[in-house]
Amino acid sequence: MSKRANEEPAFVLHRYDWSESSLILEVFSRQHGRLALLAKGVKRPTSQFRPVLLPLQPLLLSWGGQTEVRTLKAAQWQGGHVMPSGEALLSGSYLNELLLRLLARDDPHPRLFDHFARAVQLLAERADAQQAILRAFELLLLRQTGLLPDLAHEGSTLAALDPQAPYVLLPEHGLRLATASDGPAPAGAHWLALQAALDEPAPFIATLRACAPALWVLQAQLRALLHHHGGVRVFKTRQLMLDVQALSRPRALAGPVTQTNPVSLFDTFSS
């Protein structure tokens, strides 16, 4: 794996203090995957990197070095869309945390990078479709990392799904017929539609549309898989979203909630 790159498309996922003036950045790049970069002097007010290295912004980064932590050489905004704001910013930070939890360093996933860039753009443009965007990206992330079972067959018997019967998705097992104790579960027809969408040459929009009929039921099914493979009981950004929603309800009559600071979200979770 090359230790050097020039104007590589990338997103900043997270950052850590390194010294009084420098940061360690966790970035997701198209051709090099997830990696760590040392951004020297970036916390100084005069740093040219300071206004550029923001979350959920398409960047072109250059770096070099022969160690696991490379040194950032240049950074510029690639343009294309504005930064998500409000709840969409929290949703985007949740996607960042998923990548940190589920991707190994120096493991390229160019197609997943394209899906992530598309998801971030849609979060900024379509506030009404946040849940569908999150579900679509969760499915594509699991698919691209080899963690999503076949959604067209039962996991244990490999039998074709009954379109009318409900099925639950279990970690390390796949789909099985739902029982009364499992609660609501998507019907076989919905799982089949999701598998067909994932198999499309350009699957993001197809998967987003396939998610729409059962968003909240599907959320519970995917959450178990993501928690299992991410090694967590709850993702920190999801808990933050719930806390923000709880705070906003009693304040609804008093006026709007202050918008979330995008930079402060870097400190809501760790890898």
| Any domain includes 164 | yes
Domain-terminating residue out of 25, 56, 77: 77
| Any domain includes 82 | no
Number of domains in the chain: 2
- Verify that 94 and 70 share a domain, yes or no: no
pLDDT at 221: 93
Q: The CATH number of the domain where 208 resides is what?
A: 1.20.1440.120
DSSP characters over 39-94: ETTTTSTT-SSTTT--BT--EEEEEE-SSSEEEEEEEEE--SSPPP-THHHHHHHH
Integer angstrom CA distances of residue 162 from 157, 166, 186, 201, 253 = 13, 8, 11, 26, 48
pLDDT at 2: 55
Integer angstrom CA distances of residue 178 from 59, 162, 184, 196 = 44, 12, 8, 21
Is 48 a residue whose pLDDT tops 80? yes
Q: The CATH number of the domain where 23 resides is what?
A: 2.40.50.140
The mean pLDDT value of the chain amounts to 88
Contacts of 110 by beta carbon, 8 Å cutoff, 6+ apart: 30, 31
Q: Would the pTM of this model clear 0.85, i.e. be above it?
A: yes
- In one-letter notation, the amino acid at residue 76 is Q
pLDDT digits (tens, 9 = 90+) for 162-187: 999 999 999 989 999 999 999 899 99
Asked if 224 and 169 count as a contact pair (C-beta separation under 8 A), the reply is: yes
Is 19 a residue whose pLDDT tops 80? yes
Structural domain boundaries enclosing 203 = 87-268
Asked if 103 and 109 count as a contact pair (C-beta separation under 8 A), the reply is: yes
